[in-house]
Amino acid sequence: VRFRVVWFPPPTRRKRERQAGNCETTGHPTHSTPTPPPPAFPPSSSSSPRSIGRGEAHAASMDSQVLVALALSLVGGLSTSLGALFVIINQAPSLKFLGLLQGFAAGLMLSISFLDLVHNAINSIGFLKGNLWFFAGVLLFALIVNFIPEPTLVSSNAVNTQQRDEDGSGKDLMKKHRRQVLFSGIITAIGISLHNFPEGMAVFLGSMKGIRVGLNLALAIALHNIPEGVAVALPVYFATQSKWQAFKLATYSGFAEPLGVIIVAYMFPSSLSPDILEGLLGSVGGVMAFLTLHEMLPLAFDYAGQKQAVKAVFLGMAFMSASLYFLQISLPAEVSF
């Protein structure tokens, strides 16, 4: 028995396509090359060059928006330096003027605390939770202040009398005054910094809506922060007699605003819920209220007298209320702080 091997050349591409077409119309299988099995792990769309390019473009756009918001927040935050310049180019203030300014600064901080931070916290998370967060801030800082040494308050009349004494003991009393005023200035700087932090968040969110919104908001905050710089720099200048120290501390208080941009851009989406953030801001309001009533108002009453200090307090509250109003109407509907 003989076997003959016959070799058939492989079909051409056109022939294979024709055979495949005949198979579809007749339903009979035709000889064709086997198709390779699908890969066990098909490539995901996110790993394709096109999707990678889109992701890189989105990341670059996000970084550019953060940089714009950071620059705008620097403009708004560092306007506290303008307030410090207003202080250091003038002569050293008298005790009465310092007391009036302490009352004015107390009004600023009380208005920020009750009419802004605590008000927003109660509206967002409810009356009970908002008040709990507020008093938690009060209690926390009351405990902290107990461990901070501070000199005893001395009336301005006593200081003026003692300054005229020939034994020189008035100098010691003035040193105590200066330490007390310096402590009050540091407290004011802390309160203003805590207030500037959510302003930085607002600038970032406004910049996400558009450069025009972010720019308008930054300019409004800049005007809003100038008197805050005065409130920080004046007591520091009086206490230290150093223009540089007054300017430096007022400038540092403005750096909290770009810090708010950085935190909300890179940490907030994954670490804090909106309710917790509002509660923390309510606690900030409690801290500011405690510092104002415990530290700033006694100094204002002591240096300027009760009647004049109360007038300064309400003037500060009216000024800050108007400032917060004009700042709020410059925000888009989706952004608030």
Residue 250 in domain: yes
> Considering all CA atoms of the chain, what is the largest pairwise distance in Å, rounded to the nearest integer?
143
Q: To which residue do tokens 């009352």 refer?
A: 103
Residue 229 in domain: yes
Rounded Cα distance between 255 and 239, Å, is: 23
Residue 179 in domain: yes
What is the span of the domain harbouring residue 109? 65-329
Residue 271 in domain: yes
Residue 159 in domain: yes
The set of long-range contacts for 137-142, using a CB threshold of 8 Å and a minimum separation of 24, is 137/282, 137/283, 137/284, 137/285, 137/286, 137/287, 137/290, 138/286, 138/287, 138/289, 138/290, 140/283, 140/286, 140/287, 141/286, 141/287, 141/290, 141/291, 142/290, 142/294
Instruction: State pLDDT tens for residues 74-83.
Output: 888 888 998 8
Residue 123 in domain: yes
| 274 and 65 Cβ atoms separated by less than 8 Å | no
Please give the tally of structural domains in the chain. 1
Residue 197 in domain: yes
The angle formed by the CA atoms of residues 233, 237 and 241, to the nearest 5 degrees, is 165
Q: pLDDT tens digits for the chain (337 residues)? A: 444 544 555 555 555 556 555 555 555 555 555 555 555 444 444 445 554 555 555 555 567 778 888 888 888 888 899 889 988 887 766 778 878 888 888 888 888 889 888 998 899 999 999 999 999 989 988 887 777 554 433 444 444 444 444 445 566 667 777 777 888 788 788 878 877 877 777 777 767 767 776 777 787 778 778 888 888 888 888 888 888 999 999 999 888 888 888 877 776 555 557 788 788 878 888 888 887 898 788 888 988 899 999 999 999 899 888 887 887 776 655 555 5
Q: What is the pTM of this model?
A: 0.59
Instruction: State pLDDT tens for residues 270-292.
Output: 555 778 878 887 888 888 888 78
Rounded Cα distance between 252 and 140, Å, is: 23
Residue 173 in domain: yes
Rounded Cα distance between 194 and 292, Å, is: 13
| 174 and 163 Cβ atoms separated by less than 8 Å | yes
